[in-house]
Amino acid sequence: MNDLSGQNATSRAPDVTQAVALVPRINIQAFCELQETVNSIQTAFADRRMARAHGTVLTGGIDAAVRLYQTQSTPNLLLVESTAAREPLLESLASLAEVCQPDTKVIVIGHLNDVVLYRDLMRRGVGEYVVAPVTPLQLIDTIAGLYRSERAAPIGRVIAFMGAKGGAGSSTVAHNCGWEIARVADAETTIIDLDLAFGTAALDFNLDASGGIMEAILQPERVDALLLDRLLVRLGGKLSLLGGPGGVDKDFTIEAHAVETILTALRSNVPLIVLDIPCLWAPWVRFTLLHADHIVLTAEPELASLRNARAIVDLLKAARPNDQPPSLVLNKVGIPKRPEIPAADFSKAIGLEIAASVPFDPQNFGSALNNGKMLLEASPRTKAAEALRRLSRSFSAERAPAPAAASKSLIKKLLGRS
């Protein structure tokens, strides 16, 4: 049998470090034969990326789907599992085509790793063929791919940085990582400073606060790629900034849907987005963390950070079961005369490996800030810079998956096969 693994990208599960697009508002019905597949699809339907879609899971495979759709219309997307051999599978799909609406897309979950079968199904109008067992993230990636244009750019990746407590240095870590990623990966990178009153991104890059993000937050219905491009402040090279106005002369309110709108518009044009999230708890903060592609949590090696970091990590693990866990950064390690929790104990208590341990270095960090430069630029040979460099390069090596080819209607080709 010819192996399918080199032909069909969706037969392999996507890396959890890659950006997976959100599934649009569609109705999905799945007909499975095995309980393992039922469990995977139900887990996928509960994922954050499927929040806008409505999915139901039924058993009985293709035969059950044919019986049901003889009396009711088919959904936007139909998932069908079959353990049958090639010819019986094709016969079952021919019966399904007779009851499918022309605009229904079909994904077949099969148990034959056969490139000949895959090509035959593609010629007959099947949207995609996935070899079982199927993972939740693999399924989400496949579904999202069916609704993306062949000409669409890869989805930009969102990395959210947040401190386990105020003053932990999350903003400094975020800005240095964004600067390094843009430089090393040579990819367009945008830093968004979501601390509207006290954000430090403009200070760190020696800029006057522009407040460009306020226009987007206050009028999310006007947000598109062109507006955001006008609001962005170029920092040189591939790096740009979208920040707040600073100051306390007015009240600032952020709504979750405004953040979602801004990120959706940016993701279509910017390969990497760095979010600098203030250390506070609000509905929009929770929403932003839960919907980021990856999260970096910065903590100090002391008790308050440990308590807060554990609470945040427990929440994220429960709400994002199909995503990789956050990256944990220990910052300001080695402050003289301060009792500290050893890194090994901190890691064990949180349940995460330490992604980076940044030593306390007030002289070099302070000098970089006063000169409007990143530590990686002003003092690149220091131990702190090396820790930040390793962290940022672990992100710059990640790539978003290529979009899957646009599907064709099952009914249009399957009934007219030669």
| Domain ranges across the chain | 9-151+404-414, 157-396
CATH superfamily of 9-151+404-414: Response regulator (3.40.50.2300)
Task: Give the integer Cα–Cα distance in Å for 289 and 277.
Answer: 9
Q: Which contacts of 333-336 are long-range, i.e. CB under 8 A and separated by 24 or more positions?
A: 333/301, 333/357, 333/358, 333/359, 333/360, 334/359, 334/360, 335/360, 336/360
Confidence of residue 149 (pLDDT cuts 50, 70, 90): low
The pLDDT of residue 263 is above 50: yes
Per-residue pLDDT at 15: 43
Per-residue pLDDT band at 227 (split at 50, 70, 90): confident
SS3 46: coil
Q: How confident is the model at residue 397 (pLDDT cuts 50, 70, 90)?
A: low
Please give the single-letter amino acid code of residue 95: S
Looking at every residue in the chain, the average pLDDT score rounds to 88
Segment among 68-72, 362-366, 414-418 with least mean pLDDT? 414-418
Instruction: Please check whether the two domains, 9-151+404-414 and 157-396, share a CATH topology.
Output: yes
Q: Which pLDDT value is given to residue 252?
A: 79
- Give the CA distances from residue 374 to residues 6, 294, 301, in Å, rounded to whole numbers and listed in that order: 43, 22, 23
Residue 8: per-residue pLDDT? 45
pLDDT score at 304: 97
* CATH 3.40.50.720, domain 157-396, yes or no: no
Residue 315, phi then psi, degrees to nearest 5: -60, -45
pLDDT score, position 153: 60
**Looking at the predicted structure, is the pLDDT value of residue 398 above 80?**
no
Whether 18 shows a pLDDT value over 60: the answer reads no
The sheet carrying 157-163 orders its strands as: 233-236, 239-242, 189-193, 272-277, 157-163, 294-299, 327-333, 354-359
CA atoms of 244 and 197, how far apart (whole Å): 7
Q: Which of 119-128, 141-150, 167-176, 401-410 has the highest mean pLDDT?
A: 167-176
pLDDT in tens, 74-129: 999 999 999 999 999 999 999 999 999 989 999 999 999 989 899 889 988 899 99
pLDDT given at position 296: 98
How far, rounded to the nearest angstrom, does the alpha carbon of residue 263 sit from its chain's CA centroid? Answer: 11
Alpha-carbon distance of 73 to 69, in angstroms, equals 6
Which band of pLDDT confidence, cut at 50, 70 and 90, is reported for residue 187?
Answer: confident
